Chain A
Amino acid sequence: MAATIEPPPRSAVTAPRRAPVPEIAARRVPRRRLGWIEWLTTVDHKKIGILYMVTAFAFFLIGGVEALLIRIQLGGPHSTFLSPAKYNQLFTMHGTTMIFLFVVPMMAGFGNYFVPLMIGARDMAFPRLNAVSYWLFLFGGIVFYMSVFFSPPEAGWTSYAPLSGDAYLPNSGIDAWIYLIHLTGISSLLGAINFYVTIANMRAPGMGWGRLPLFCWAILTFSVLLILALPTIAAAVTMLLTDRHFGTHFFDARQGGSPLLWQHLFWFFGHPEVYIMILPGFGIISEVLPVFSRKPIFGYKAIAAATVGIAFLSLLVWAHHMFATPLGTAVLAFFMLSSMLIAVPTGIKVFNWIATLWRGTLEFRTPLYFAVGFIAFFTVGGISGVILAIYPVDWQLTDTYFVVAHFHYVLVAGAVNAIFAGIYYWFPKMTGRMLSESLGKLSFWLTFIGFNVTFLVQHSLGLSGMPRRIYEYADRTDWNVYNLISTIGSFILAVGVLVTVFNVVRSLKRGVNAGPDPWKGNTLEWLVPSPPPENNFDVIPRVRSVEPMKDIRRAVARATEAQA
């Protein structure tokens, strides 16, 4: 970036009556580059954010098609639509794509675009590193998807050893998966460090930790969790790689290795990963609710503290994914207790969100629809999570469709609803144009109905004994009916997603002009024009509360009155 940031002259901040002195000056004007070269070489956090979001959403659509193929296969008993190998490849690709190539990078995209704007910074702390993060993510995705031209991985997104060893899956799909974990892992790690440094050092004057927007609290916690959890999975997949190719036996029981070691290492990362995916969603919801209920967030400190508390506990619950493996009773009891404990801060959040809506004046625009949908059905995922934490009950339900239903309630009703709320909330800021409200609400109702039709019955499928990850099932009336309902629901859900895609594409050209602050927002991104200029802020305002935009609007109103 040719623009050089200079320290703000004190006069600009303390003496607003004088003509504003520019806080930022360019020593040389950058040459304007051709459109696509600009996108390839940009280090602007907003462009990188958009690259992240567009790429992640493209992977979301690919992962969605994989899900539909899975649901077609399961639409009836003894289906021959897919071969067993293809089916295993599809659910492996689906899970890996949605987690590593959609939800996490999508949240990183929102963070990239909005964290600097919300804290009053002109870019991320390390703009070039930021670009490196994006390109590593994209190449991780490409390396992984190249495997469709030879042999995609088929050991599930968890790649349990020894099935993922070279003795059972000698083809290179698992290796492509390993490189995906490495590349997206380095990408996330660099991104996390960047977020952490940015939030810690580049907040606007006056923005203490108690005035940091809750979305930024969420991204900060997301970053710390990534930094703590990623090295473990990096080590685990490296061990898997050397087991597969260089004669080591970390996970080979016949040579003194331990298959359970893989599970411990994987879930030590894997469970924090769940919160890495959902915490930024919590952050988005905590931004959307106060704006559309015209009320301050209820219990700011409790929500911020609950975010940090959830992150801490999420590092202590990994073995609840392994209740059915040979573990001692004390271990089982510990992980049951710690998993139950997470429900406390999560419950606090749900109550605080409802209390934020309570006695507000709720303006039912599309972002609020998705946010309320989030609270309503994320709660179901939370409740089924408590049921699964009780390990004797888990013995009957783990690795069945009950678990599939549980984590889709958390990740689709939770994370995806939050992402859609974020898209509808921030699209006007990113493009300067509003998304269509009627299409948005149609998309909400379709995804809402489609989602519940797809996943509610899967609880019953699991309870009636259907294991997950099976490509065909016996001809039983109850399973046939539940599966058919689920398959129909998945197509309704898909149509709902496509309505939003259509809405986005259409509104880029035809959307109503948004102006800088269409929602009367609370946070600083709404101060600047939509889309924001490359330097974000000409003058960085002093922050005096959690809702700086409210203060600024009030000050402007006073100034206008005084003039009149």
Chain B
Amino acid sequence: MGPRRRTFLLALLACAISLLALAGVASANALAPETGGSPNADRTHTIYVVLLVISAVVFFGVEGLLLYTVVRFRARKGAVAAQIRGNTRLEIGWTVATAVVLLGIVIFTLVELRAIKNPDRSGANGFASSSDANLYASLGQPAPPGKGLKITATGRQFVWRYDYPNGAAAYYELVVPTDTTIRLDIESSDVVHSWWIPKLGGQFDAVPGQANHTWFKVPGKLAGHTFSGACAELCGRGHANMLASVRAVTPPQFGAWVAAQKTQLNEANKAAAAAAATQDPLAGKH
């Protein structure tokens, strides 16, 4: 066995070992984005899988051709290189073929896109909340048909704050009713952050001075489930720890939770005001 052959075999062995190691941990999300928490994430997943299949065909086609070429046309005794300078038909052919594949991908994406961008209708058992007619002209995202819930998520170093329509607020964990279309307004009060719960759809940057929008709808059967995610835009030293999670509960549980949250907040505000009134020497003089 020559040294070249040995090198090649060693290389193959190393590749095989690393692939095996990969296979050992290969879970559902090793090859495709996470999915399952919301219809928009599922639809993105569908586009991705179609792209992956096309990519695999292109990849194996190109690599196979390359591999065949470098093995078949190695310099041998008596072999003469063909002095070809080009072939206009062939070149136009592969230019058109590349363009057609890409055009196909674009058309497919644009067809699928609407259902990712535009919010779904809330389910019949969704949380009853008045739907406001706030249009998202700048982003082309219309208000969802029927009822829905609008929540504002505000990023700041290094935590997310959520504001609910009834005035309740929470940090870190977003509690949402299932089977209800949740529209998120994403804002930032300091640097750029990015809202990302992979199972509930893609990333949306929180840019100071602008509002970004997304939506998700957790199916009823996933009540009690918690989805985790993280800030996806570098926001400083605590970026790694700017985690977020979304807990889905049934609509009645949500109603109770958000009311309790509001009461707690009011009480805390009152207590704080009272404490300030007794402690602040200036407050008594009025």
Contacts and interface: CB of A to CB of B under 8 A. Distances in A.
A387 interface: yes
B44 A395 contact: yes
B13 to A, nearest CB: 10
Chain B CB within 10 A, most for which of A327, A359, A482: A359
A211 interface: no
Nearest to A84: B237
Given A298-B84, A396-B44, A399-B233, 10 more contacts: A296-B85, A324-B205, A329-B117, A348-B98, A396-B33, A398-B203, A452-B18, A460-B22, A463-B30, A477-B25
10 contacts: A253-B210, A355-B84, A359-B81, A386-B102, A395-B203, A396-B44, A396-B48, A463-B30, A465-B34, A478-B29
Interface in A326-377: 326-330, 333, 336-337, 340-341, 343-344, 347-348, 350-352, 354-355, 357-364, 372, 375-376
A352 B95 CA distance: 11
B190 interface: yes
Interface stretch (A21-29, A187-195, A442-450): A442-450
Given A354-B62, A363-B75, A464-B27, A325 B11 contact: no
Given A156-B234, A485-B18, A340 B191 contact: no
A383 B73 contact: no
Interface residues of A, number: 102
A51 to B, nearest CB: 34
A441 interface: yes
B32 interface: yes
A438 B3 CA distance: 9
A387 B85 contact: no
A473 interface: yes
Contact of A392 (B27, B95, B113): B113
B285 interface: no
Nearest to A306: B95
B260 interface: no
B284 interface: no
Interface residues of B, number: 98
A465 B202 CA distance: 10
B79 interface: yes
* The 8 A-B residue pairs with the shortest CB-CB distance in the complex, in nearest-first order: A395-B202, A253-B209, A470-B240, A329-B140, A253-B208, A359-B82, A294-B81, A347-B98
A463 B84 contact: no
A380 interface: yes
Interface in B21-40: 21-22, 24-25, 27, 29-34
Contacts of A390: 47, 51, 105, 109
A468 B198 CA distance: 14
Contacts of B239: 84, 88, 469-471
Given A326-B210, A375-B66, A383-B59, A302 B29 contact: no
Given A376-B63, A396-B44, A360 B234 contact: no
B236 A302 contact: no
B192 A163 contact: yes
Nearest to A262: B192
Interface in A389-410: 390, 392-400
A258 B69 contact: no
B205 A340 contact: no
Interface of B: 3-4, 7, 10-11, 14-15, 18, 21-22, 24-25, 27, 29-34, 41, 43-44, 47-48, 51-52, 55, 58-59, 62-63, 65-66, 69-70, 73-76, 79-87, 90-91, 94-95, 98-99, 102, 105-106, 109-110, 112-113, 116-117, 138-140, 157, 190-192, 194, 196, 198, 201-205, 207-213, 229-241
Interface string A233-265: 000000000000000000001100111100000
B207 A348 contact: no
Nearest to B208: A253
A150 to B, nearest CB: 17
A324 B204 contact: yes
A449 B207 CA distance: 40
Interface string A431-463: 000000010011001001100110011001001
A541 interface: no
Nearest to A297: B85
Given A162-B191, A343-B98, A344-B95, A399 B232 contact: yes
A346 to B, nearest CB: 9
A358 B73 contact: yes
A294 B76 CA distance: 12
Chain B CB within 10 A, most for which of A393, A398, A482: A393
Interface in A282-340: 293-302, 322, 324-330, 333, 336-337, 340
A179 B51 CA distance: 42
A66 interface: no
A360 B85 CA distance: 12
Given A348-B95, A352-B91, A467-B230, A362 B73 contact: yes
A155 interface: yes
A376 B67 CA distance: 9
A158 to B, nearest CB: 8
A448 B11 contact: yes
B94 A351 contact: yes
A472 interface: yes
A304 to B, nearest CB: 12
Given A293-B81, A379-B59, A399-B194, A358 B69 contact: yes
A95 to B, nearest CB: 11
A300 B85 CA distance: 7
Contacts of B81: 293-295, 359-361
Nearest to A327: B139
Contacts of A326: 138-139, 205, 207, 210-213
